């Protein structure tokens, strides 16, 4: 167990060194930090005779991307990210186990190459360590990836289509992917279905106001060993978590490429499902609709 913990610490340390090295480069392409808060939520239909389970949920995210190779025709972009879901329970009901913290550490590589005047091929792969970071093992590693063909239809517009392998909905799925983007002096639209949709009015180069909808989630492994129903263990079990949120967004430019971001709205859907070590579903709980607030900083290319 100590060896696994030491390995996990080495992975974290290596990523932090990678982040430091990349961020020290001039003009990094993308850097963002965001804090997401669900002030209060209840779990619908908890295990009887348990009363409603109530929790606050905070989500901290940070990511950094940088083009490691750029030949003019092709480019390789590396992206590192970390996020932590923190549950603060005011009422745990009668459940034997509920997670307190779930974390994700990811490294994504994206290869983009021109196929002609207006067409591009986009291939991306993103292994990620997603778990409670207890007794870390190889089964705590997930994989996201995909392939997109994109066509530029104007100076700041285009579309793309393809397929992706994603854990955003709490379990591994192969889904079609469609993207459309368009920007003028007055508005910006960015759709990447089924992941997010954004429509913003632009009031000059530094003020943006509009609507944002997004899906986020993952398939988290559990390393903590707790005996639950039918004498099963949570160790090597998993937590399926996903959320769909929508609401207004506001971006304020603090300098040429540095923005303060603020989003509010409602969680239209949030799912939470716990599986034991034999992959038997222990409980499926839907978090009731609740308010969500996100604030962050973003450095744009």
Q: What percent of the chain has pLDDT over 70?
A: 79
What pLDDT score does 177 carry? 93
What pLDDT score does 43 carry? 56
What pLDDT score does 26 carry? 35
What pLDDT score does 92 carry? 64
Asked if 111 and 131 touch (Cβ cutoff 8 Å), the reply is no
- Phi and psi angles of residue 135, each rounded to the nearest 5 degrees, phi first: 50, 55
Q: Is the pTM of this model over 0.85?
A: no
| 12-29: pLDDT as tens digits | 434 433 333 333 333 334
| 42-56: pLDDT as tens digits | 655 445 545 556 677
- Phi and psi angles of residue 93, each rounded to the nearest 5 degrees, phi first: 65, -145
What pLDDT score does 18 carry? 39
- Phi and psi angles of residue 72, each rounded to the nearest 5 degrees, phi first: 95, -35
What pLDDT score does 285 carry? 65
Closest CA to 281 of 216, 224, 237: 237
């Amino acid at each position: 167990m100590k060896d696994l913990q030491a390995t996990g610490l080495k992975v974290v340390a290596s990523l932090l060194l990678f982040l430091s090295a990349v961020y020290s480069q001039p003009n990094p392409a993308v850097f963002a930090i965001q804090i997401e808060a669900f002030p209060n939520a209840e779990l619908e239909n908890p295990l009887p005779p348990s009363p409603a389970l109530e929790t606050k949920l905070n989500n901290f995210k940070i990511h950094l991307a940088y083009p490691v190779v750029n030949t003019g025709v092709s480019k390789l972009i590396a992206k590192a990210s970390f996020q932590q879901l923190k549950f603060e329970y005011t009422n745990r009901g009668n459940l034997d186990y509920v997670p307190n913290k779930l974390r994700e550490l990811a490294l994504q590589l994206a290869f983009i190459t021109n196929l002609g005047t207006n067409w591009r091929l986009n291939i991306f792969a993103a292994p990620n360590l997603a778990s409670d970071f207890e007794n870390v093992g190889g089964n705590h590693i997930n994989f996201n990836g995909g392939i997109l063909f994109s066509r530029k239809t104007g100076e700041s517009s285009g579309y793309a289509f393809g397929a992706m392998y994603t854990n955003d909905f709490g379990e591994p799925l192969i889904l079609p992917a469609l993207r459309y983007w368009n920007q003028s002096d007055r508005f910006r639209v960015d759709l990447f279905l089924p992941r997010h949709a954004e429509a913003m009015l632009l009031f000059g180069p530094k003020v943006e106001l509009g609507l944002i909808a997004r899906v986020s989630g993952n398939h988290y492994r559990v390393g903590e060993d707790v005996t639950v129903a039918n004498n099963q263990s949570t160790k090597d079990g998993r937590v399926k978590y996903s959320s769909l949120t929508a609401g207004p967004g506001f971006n304020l430019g603090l300098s040429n490429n540095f923005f303060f971001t603020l989003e509010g709205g409602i969680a239209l859907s949030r799912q939470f499902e716990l599986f034991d070590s034999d992959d038997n579903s222990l409980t499926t709980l839907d978090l009731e609709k609740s308010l969500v607030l996100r604030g962050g900083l973003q450095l744009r290319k």
